[in-house]
Structure 1
Amino acid sequence: MSVADLQRLVHRATPRVEDVRAPDRTDFIRREHGHLPLREVVDALDALEFSATSFLRQFKEVSVAQEPQQPEFNDEEACVLSEKGRLERYAAKPVAPEKSDDTCVHQLHRLLEGTRVFCPRLPSDIPKGETQAEEWASNPASDWKEVAADEKTKGGNAFKEKNFRRAIDHYTRAIRASPKEAELHTLHSNRSAARMQVAEAEAALADARLCVQLAPSWPKGRFREGTALRQLGRFDEAISAFLHGQRLEPDNKDWEKEVAKTQELHEATPASQVQQLIMHLLPDILATWLRAADAGGVLQLQVNGHLHDLGVCKWRRLREGAQPGKAQIRYAFLEKKGYLANLAANLQSPIEAIAVLDLEGNAIKIPDVSSFFWKPDFASVHIDIKDAKGSMKAILATVPIEDGLKRFIQKPKDPDPPKASIESVLTLQSRSGFPKSYPRYLGFQMFPGDLNFPVIDLLRDAPSKAG
C-alpha cells in the first residue's frame, strides 16, 4: 500500500474518454469510463491492502490534481498512425468538467472522516494535549558541565539497574543544571525512555516533543515520540512520527517495522474495527438509506457475526491464515417514533438478539441516543453486532450524506414481494427486536454478497400494519 497506489486508484475512478488503439493497430477505439461505484472502490482498497485507518492517513498525501500519463509511440507505431493520417496521441479527457476532488475515492474519504460513532469514540474525536515546562537553567552555575555530566552518568547507571525513578531524578537534575544551548535533547530523550518504563507516557511524550524541538534532525527524538504516542493509543500520530524518522534515516529498516507494528495495533482496537466494519458496509448502508429517502428515520442493522471477524481487513485475515468474516445481516428502516418505541421496549425487556449495551458495556440511554442521532445531512445508523464473548452490543453511528452521493451508489434492484405470508414474517420480526413498531422497509444480506432490500415494503405488502 502506498500513496502511488491511491493516485492510480483516483485516476481509475476519474470519469474520462480514452482513445486506445484497435487490435489491428490501424485505428482507435473510443472508450468511456464513468465514476467507479463505492463498492468497487472499497474492494479495490482491500485488494491494495489498505485498512480504513491507513487509507484515511495516506489519502491526505494524494495530489489534488493529477495529469494522465501520455505514453510514447515507437517509430513503427508512428508510421502506422501516419499512414492512416492519425497522428493524434493517446488522450484521456474528462467527459465533462470535473472537480479535482470529485471521484468516489475522495467521496469515501469524506464519508469516513465525517462519520461519528457514539461508542467507542474514533481516534479523531479523542482530545489530545501534553505540556512540558522548560526546565533548563537560565543562569547556569560555572560548574554546570561537570554537574550535568555527573547526573547524566548516574541516570544512565540507574537505568541499567532498572531503577527508573532514580534515573528520572538524575536526568531532571542534569536538565536543570544546563543552559538551553547545551545538548539537552539527549537528556530529554533519556528521561522520556525512563518515564516510559514507569508508565508515564504523557510525560514521556512531552520530553520527546522537547527533544524533537531542540534537535529536529536527530532521528532518535522521533523514535521516542512515536513510542510514547503508541503507548497512549494515538496510533496515527505515532505512525507519522516513525515516518518522519524514516525520512531522516532512510536506510534504517527498523522504521518500517515500527510502522507495521503500530498499524497492526491500531487495527486491533475496537474503534478501528468499528471504522473498518463501517467502511465494509458503507455501500449497502448508503444504498438502503437513499432508498428509504427519509432523513428522520433510523437504519438498524442486526449483524449475526462478530466484530473481531468483520472489523478486520479481509487481506489481513487471509495473510494470517483465516477466512474473511461472514455474516447474516438484517437491514431495517424505521421512522423515528417507531425506532424509539422499539428501543424503549427492548431496554425494558431485553432479548438475546438485540443489544442493550454499547461496546464498552455501558447501558444505552434514550436521551443519549436522541441527542446523538438525527443531525441534519447525516444518516442515523444503529448496528447490533456480537462482541468477543458472543454478546450483542450496539454501535451508534452518523454518516454524512452529501448532494451528489447517489452517482457513486449502485441502486439495488427491488426484490420481488415475499412469497411467504406477510403476517408470519412480521410476527417473526416482532419476536426478534421490533415489539412495538414494524420497520417501514426490511431487507437481508449474506455478507459478503448481494443486498436484498427491501424484501418487505410495509406500504406495499401490509398497508394495514403501517403506522
Structure 2
Amino acid sequence: MSAADLHRLVHRATPRVEDVRAPDRTDFIRREHGHLPLREVVDALDALEFSSASFLRQFSEVKIEKPAKPEFNEAEACVLSEKGRLERYATTPAAPEKSDDTCVHQLHRLLEDLRVLCPCLPSDKKQEAAPQEEASSPTSDWKEVVADEKAKGSDAFKQKDFRRAIDHYTRAIRASPKEVEEELKTLHTLYSNRSAARLQVEEAEAALADARLCVQLAPSWPKGYFRLGTSLRQLQRFDEAIEAFIAGRSLEPENKDWEKEVEKTQQMLEASPAAQVRQLIMQLLPDILATWFRAADPEGVLQIQVNGRLRDLGACKWRRLRDGAQPAKAQIRYAFLHKKGYLANLAANLQSPSPEAYAVTDLEGKPIKIPDVSAFFWKTDFASVHIDIKDDDGAMKAIL
C-alpha cells in the first residue's frame, strides 16, 4: 500500500466529460471507461491492503493536477456560428476544473468528517509546550555535572531503577545550558533518555513531552522520533505514532526496524474499537448513502442492525485473509425512520430492554440516553445513523 497506489486509483475513478453530458447514463459510462463507483473504490482499497486509517493517512500525499481549461478559439467559433452552433459551443460543459471530484476524494471527505458518539474517533490533541528546565545561568563546572549525572542515570537504567534514572537525568538537564557549541550539545539525548525511563514507569504523558523536546532540539536525529512514536503508542494515539515512525524512517531509510514499528502500531490501531467502527462504516458507506438518499429526509435516522461481531466485521478483509481467517459475513438490515418514530422506538426499547435483540448501551457499556442522542443527531449537513452490532459476549451495542 502506498500513495502511488492511491494516485492510480484516483485516476481510475476520475469522471470524464461524458459523465457530465449524460448524468442519466453515469453507471453505463463508468463501466465503459473504467471509472469506479463508491462500492468498487471501497473494494479496491481492500484489495490494495488499505485500512480506513492508512487510507486517511496516506491520501494527503496524493496530488492530482487540475486539467487545463480549454481556450476559446475565435476562428473556430466563427465556423461554428455559420452552422448555427455558436451558442451550443459556448455552453458545452468543459472538463471539470475540480481535482477532488472522484469517489475516492468523496470517500476521504466522508471518513474524515465522520463523528461517532462512542467510542470517540482519534483526533488531534492540543500540544502544550513543556516548561523549560535548562539552566539559565549554568555553573562553571556544568560539563562535569552533566556528564556525571548522565552516567549515573544510564547506570540506574541498566539496573532497572527507573525512578532513580529519571532523577539523575533531570539533574543533568537542569545543569545544562540550552545554547552551547554544537559539539557539546547533549540536551536532546538527556530528554531522550528520560523519555525512555518515564515510559518504563508508565508516565506516558511526561515521556511524550520529553520526546517532543528531543525532536525539537535535534530534528534530524532519528532516535528522537522513535521516542516520540513509542510515547504516542503507549497513549493509544496510534495515528500520530505511525506518523512519528514514518518521519524516523525517512531519516534512516536503510533501517528495517522502522517498518516493523509502523506495522506493529498499525495492527494495534486496527484492533482498537474506534478504528473498527470506522472500518465497518467504510464498508457500509455505499449502502448507507444509497438508503439515505432514497429516503430524502434529513430529519430521519437510518437504523442498521448487523447480526455479527464488531471485532470480526470491523477488521480489514485482507488482514483476516493474511491471518488465515475468512472474511466475516453477517446479515444486515436497513430501516429508515422519521425522527418521531425513531425516538418513540428508542424509548420503547429502553423501557423494555432486550440486549440480545437490540442495543440499549453503547460500545463502552454505558446506557443510551435520549437527551444525549437528540443532542448528537440532526446536525446540519450530517446524516444520522444508528447501528446495532454484537460485542464479544453476543449482546447488541449501539454505534451512533
**Common fold by TM > 0.5:** yes
Matching residue's letter, 1:183 = T
Q: Does 1:101 align with 2:97?
A: no
Show the counterpart of 1:271. 274
Show the counterpart of 2:137. 139
Show the counterpart of 1:356. 360
SS at match of 1:304: strand
**Residues 227, 238 of structure 1: 8 Å contact kept:** yes
Matching residue's letter, 1:224 = R
Looking at structure 2, the residues matched to 296 and 34 of structure 1 have their Cα atoms a distance apart, in angstroms, of 36
Q: Which has the higher strand share?
A: 1
- What is the Cα deviation at residue 15 of structure 1? 1.9
Show the counterpart of 2:392. 388
Show the counterpart of 2:224. 221
Looking at structure 2, the residues matched to 161 and 142 of structure 1 have their Cα atoms a distance apart, in angstroms, of 31
Matching residue's letter, 1:6 = L
The ranges of structure 1 where at least 4 consecutive aligned residues each deviate by more than 4 angstroms after the TM superposition are: none
**Residues 196, 228 of structure 1: 8 Å contact kept:** yes
Find 1:234's aligned residue among 234, 237, 262: 237
**Residues 35, 104 of structure 1: 8 Å contact kept:** no
Show the counterpart of 1:344. 347
Looking at structure 1, the residues matched to 384 and 119 of structure 2 have their Cα atoms a distance apart, in angstroms, of 16
Looking at structure 1, the residues matched to 397 and 120 of structure 2 have their Cα atoms a distance apart, in angstroms, of 15
- What is the Cα deviation at residue 16 of structure 1? 3.1
- What is the Cα deviation at residue 127 of structure 1? 3.7
**Residues 130, 205 of structure 1: 8 Å contact kept:** no
**Residues 15, 101 of structure 2: 8 Å contact kept:** no
- What is the Cα deviation at residue 378 of structure 1? 1.0
Looking at structure 2, the residues matched to 32 and 67 of structure 1 have their Cα atoms a distance apart, in angstroms, of 21
**Residues 133, 173 of structure 2: 8 Å contact kept:** yes
Looking at structure 1, the residues matched to 126 and 313 of structure 2 have their Cα atoms a distance apart, in angstroms, of 29
Looking at structure 2, the residues matched to 228 and 218 of structure 1 have their Cα atoms a distance apart, in angstroms, of 17
- 5 Å matches for 1:428-467? none
Find 1:330's aligned residue among 315, 328, 333: 333
Q: Which has the higher helix share?
A: 2
**Residues 16, 34 of structure 1: 8 Å contact kept:** no
RMSD across aligned positions (CA): 1.7
Looking at structure 2, the residues matched to 64 and 230 of structure 1 have their Cα atoms a distance apart, in angstroms, of 32
**Residues 184, 211 of structure 1: 8 Å contact kept:** yes
- What is the Cα deviation at residue 131 of structure 1? 3.6
- What is the Cα deviation at residue 292 of structure 1? 0.7
**Residues 130, 203 of structure 1: 8 Å contact kept:** no
Show the counterpart of 2:6. 6
SS at match of 2:383: strand
Show the counterpart of 1:157. 155
SS at match of 1:312: coil
Show the counterpart of 1:294. 297
- 5 Å matches for 1:165-184? 165-180=163-178, 181=180, 182-184=185-187
Looking at structure 2, the residues matched to 66 and 327 of structure 1 have their Cα atoms a distance apart, in angstroms, of 41
Looking at structure 2, the residues matched to 67 and 378 of structure 1 have their Cα atoms a distance apart, in angstroms, of 31
Find 1:284's aligned residue among 267, 278, 287: 287
Unpaired stretches in structure 1, ≥5 consecutive residues = 19-30, 69-93, 397-467
Show the counterpart of 2:53. 53
Deviations 1:191-218 (CA, angstroms, capped at 9, x unpaired): 0000000001110011011001111111
Find 1:206's aligned residue among 202, 205, 209: 209
Matching residue's letter, 2:96 = P
- State the TM-score, normalizing by the size of structure 2: 0.87
Looking at structure 1, the residues matched to 323 and 34 of structure 2 have their Cα atoms a distance apart, in angstroms, of 36
Show the counterpart of 1:114. 113
